[in-house]
A and B are shown apart, each in its own frame.
Chain A
Amino acid sequence: MSTPKKLSPFDFINSINEGLRGKTVLSDEDVESGYIPFMVNRGLSYFNETILLANEMNMRAPTATKGMQYNFLRSTVRPAKRFSKWLKRSADDSDVEAIRSAYGYSRGKAQAVLGILTADQIRVIRERYLQKGGIYK
């Protein structure tokens, strides 16, 4: 007998997009074990008609249970098929990573000084902080 597949945040996003008319009604157990509010809300933040609803749950994450959040979104999001890329920073982050390692900065601080350093200085930092085990990243 095979064990049931654990649901991913994307299963929940699909279920929310189907709305109350959708066939999938998830059990309380499914919601508690597989629902990751951060991921579900992010997934709904890529569309102008769902971002405000997702942010309502983003605000209430500490107090609303996973079941409450899932049911709120499932009841309020207009049923539709929605597809989007999962957005990430598009810039080449290796220089930022090298600066971060060199100075112990956060990404924000490293980003802020990226434009200050010359190409030669960045090369020196990369050589020193990204060259590990003989491999030049």
Chain B
Amino acid sequence: MNQKNVNEFLWVEKYRPETIQECILPANIKKTFLGIVKAGLMPNMLLSGTSGLGKTTVAIALCKSLELDYILINSSEESGIDILRNKIKQFASTISLSGGDKVKVVILDESDSLNPQSTQPALRAFIEEFSSNCRFIFTCNFKNRIIEALHSRCTVIEFNTSKKDLAVLAMEFMKRLKVILKSEGIKFDDKTLAELIIKHAPDWRRVLNESQRHSISGEITTNVLVGMSDQTMSSLVAALKDKDFKTMRGWVANNNDIDSSVIFRNIFDQVVEIAKPGSIPSAVIILADYQYKAAFVADRELNTVACLTELMASVEWI
């Protein structure tokens, strides 16, 4: 069993684009990356944007297109200073096997998890020390969590999608999804696929994961539109309605992998439907306030608990 076989298990890996041309990106962003491939010069880069847009895929595709050795480090799991001292230094300080003049690339995925007090400042010196033979690509969801000194050492590319772009990209992704489903022998109808894409766009990874999750029977039905997260959220909402702090606190601890913005968005959707109309304005203000605070708090889990506690105290449910 090798890595290739394991990659066959997940569609997101099996069908991950290998070149920039294959990536589904807004035209201006794609043009920028194609320019880098054409020039053959890899800069230090900071790629920012929400999840599932293809930041990591682009970083890997760039390395493959330019035939550069790379190492992918998931910063959310390895965020301490030790990762710099050991893994990165060891990789960056050696010459690439693909040719003496070729640079190596360190891809720091989800780099907004890197410690801004220790690891991020230390990376400044690393970027300069190894500038002759190593480049760094940082991917992140929140670029404001990356210190200014790293911003200024990188080309910052935001994966923003305008409404106009989104419609084009959704069409493009629909075509790609149909090809994938056909090659996997999965039956589908266009309307369900379109609804699924509209529901999760522009999180293309989520669309593909949900498609695979619901294709076990060999057919994608409208069940795909009732995601697992809806079921998870319903237990949270029940705890909020019951003003059950202990259950709510346990839920947050158990689901600390879900981004707080996703939780807040889902709560808002529920509030509109099942809260008394008079409670909606205060709920919106609470959610917006905590969404804002989430960008700079030290502990996001705690911020989410505080938000839900305020909602429990303020919102009256139907």
Contact = CB atoms under 8 A, between A and B. Distances in A.
Contact of B249 (A45, A88, A116, A125): A45
Interface stretch (B6-14, B17-25, B30-38, B187-195): B6-14
A116 B211 CA distance: 9
Interface in A98-115: 100, 102-109, 111-113, 115
B310 interface: yes
A112 B209 contact: yes
Contact of A106 (B77, B213, B249): B77
Contacts of A105: 74
A48 B209 contact: no
Nearest to A91: B254
B256 A89 contact: yes
A17 to B, nearest CB: 17
Interface of A is mostly: helix
Contacts of A109: 205
> How big is chain B's contact interface, by range?
35 or more
B1 interface: yes
A134 B163 CA distance: 53
B312 to A, nearest CB: 8
Interface of B: 1, 3, 5-7, 9-10, 12-13, 72, 74, 76-77, 109-110, 113, 205-206, 209, 212-213, 228, 245, 249-250, 253-254, 256-259, 293, 296-299, 301-303, 305-306, 309-310, 312
Interface of A: 37-38, 41-42, 45-48, 51-52, 54-55, 58-59, 61-62, 87-91, 100, 102-109, 111-113, 115-117, 121, 124-125, 127-128
